[in-house]
Amino acid sequence: MQRWGLPDGWVISARPAHPALVSETDYITVQGIQTPRGAAVRPDRCHLLAGLLRCGICGRQLESCWANNRAAYRCRHGHTGASRSDPDRPKNLYVREDHILPHLPALHILLTGPSDIVPDGASPDPREVIDHLRTSKITLTYEPETRTLRTGTPKEVKVTIDQKR
């Protein structure tokens, strides 16, 4: 583990070996700036289902990705680019968010029953369903072979996802 020395332990030459690229004041100011780790968050790239989807093959949480200018989710089944993949490893799983969202109202009705349907007989908005899933701590598992989305609830609910859009 790397440890950075505190400023009071720094050794600063009385006679610099070369002209400074930045002033000492600027250097010290920049040292105090904290930047978040990971990729910068872009407001135009939103993944509504992040953290809610699991892989039906290996059980891992699907990671958010951007595919063909659309929000999507994938599972590489533990494979990283730095290691050689096992030839028996299943193919990467990809599912687009816009293929899932239209099916969430039906999933919600199957989960909660007709009594929780939005008034006037309208089906719930996908964002309302997502909020319900998050507050109820319900995850969804995507099965690529059958193209189904199922809940991990005592009363398991399944819907088929049409990917031909």
Tens of pLDDT, residues 57-79: 989 999 999 888 899 999 987 76
More confident residue, 44 or 156: 156
Beta bridge partners of 85: none
Contact 70, 98 (CB under 8 A): yes
Q: What pLDDT, on a 0 to 100 scale, did the predictor assign at position 36?
A: 64
DSSP codes joined into one string, 34-70: ---SSSPP-TT---TTTTTEEETTT-PBPEEEEETTE
Give the chain's mean pLDDT.
82
Both tokens of residue 2?
Answer: 């790397």
Model pTM greater than 0.85? no
pLDDT digits (tens, 9 = 90+) for 108-153: 888 887 655 455 667 788 888 999 999 999 999 999 999 999 998 8
Does the structure show a pLDDT above 80 at 18?
yes
